[in-house]
Amino acid sequence: MASSPKPLTETADAPRPTGANSPIPPITRSQDPFRWEGVDVHPYKETGDHFRSISRQTLFPGAYDLPVELRYFEIQDGGHSTLERHQHAHLVMVVQGHGQVLLRDAVAEFGPQDVVHIGPMTWHQFRANRGETVGFLCVVNQDRDRPQRPTDDDLTMLRTSPAVEEFIRA
């Protein structure tokens, strides 16, 4: 019989987050897959029509000497993230589902346990277009620049590849 996951806890001698008066609360997985107790599910972004059917959970907001955020994104079948780029890099690990990702000027397939490296100023977009929900963990710098959406000239350049033109949603 498998044992239940134990809550993650802060040890007594571990440093507290800078400026915090109390330790980070433990996070445990709830009974629902890909949901965590005490972690709210938020819209991917506050406003816009350049993404579809995607949510975000922040599992670790950055603390101690780890200036990173660990986030979980979930894209429902037929949904997609924003077509964007930014100065900061980030790292994605797929934990459920199959789909496709645009990286720069190529479209690639992904599935569970695949790791996607997104370098600075790389155009990227994730799509759940294989008939199932896609979920991925994303590690990103806590202090980062705002994403840039493509200009008309950028879209013209991206669309020179037939595969990319068919893939992107802007």
**Residues annotated as catalytic (active site), given as ranges:** 138
CA–CA–CA angle 18, 23, 26 (5° rounding): 130
Strands 99-103 and 90-96 come out as unpaired
Of the candidates 121, 102, 120, the residue with the CA atom closest to the CA atom of residue 170: 102
List CB contacts of 48: < 8 A, sequence separation 6 or more.
82
* CA–CA distances in Å: residue 72 to residues 147, 163, 164, 168: 18, 28, 26, 22
